[in-house]
Structure 1
């Protein structure tokens, strides 16, 4: 059983990602990093990425190739402040999913490390 299956699969990942994007939609730091007027496509890409990362379907790679996260985010100034805003909304998503403490800790550990890794602009 994969972590994806263990946490409830697509339904749980969708809850996390949707809650995250509800926050992003009105965030003054993060929203400008999403050039699309409709956040729906970004939400779907993030859902597919997280699903694949945690052991679900490989649709993300089939549609988009290797994730190349730093390269895909390079056009945007990802600062420590942006990281904090991103983590705030992701925390809300995890809270909405109501995972077990162990599952929550595993997911949170990954996203906090990933968010730090994505910083590409000092200040």
Structure 2
């Protein structure tokens, strides 16, 4: 019988480094969205002000990664698809979101094994958010 190797931490939240690291990841994600022309459509879909989006993504990711449930404590179940319906999300927006988050993970030194796991999960979730073809 072969035993599976245990991940280095009990939760992805612990593995990533806790709230400070999640905050740094979210900040870099939105900074890149603002700076990089490759994410122009993604940035345009967020309106002029990003402070609220930054805070909500931080709260959400903390809980989603297995840490404190800041988002659900404030807003209840995330209902991601419903909350994203007002935004036009197609393949380009999905791909830009995932690429921007992957770049942010790389630039904030997320462990490569965790980065791959998260990138795969983010892609599945982002694909689920699509509400139009193309």
Secondary structure at the aligned position of 2:67 is classed as: coil
Q: Is the counterpart of residue 9 in structure 1 residue 18 in structure 2?
A: yes
d(CA) in 2 for partners of 1:84 and 1:105?
A: 15
> How many residues are treated as equivalent by the alignment?
122
Q: Deviations over 1:92-123 (max 9, x none)?
A: 11102212221111111111111111111112
Structure 2: gaps (5+ residues): 1-9
Runs of 4+ in 1 over 3 A off after TM superposition: none
Greater C-alpha radius of gyration: 2
RMSD over equivalenced CA pairs, Å: 1.4
**Corresponding position of 1:23:** 32
Q: CA deviation at 1:13?
A: 1.0
Structure 1: gaps (5+ residues): none
Q: Deviations over 1:72-104 (max 9, x none)?
A: 000111010111111121111110221222111
**Corresponding position of 1:63:** 74
C-alpha contact (below 8 Å) 1:25/1:39 kept by paired residues: no
**Corresponding position of 2:84:** 73
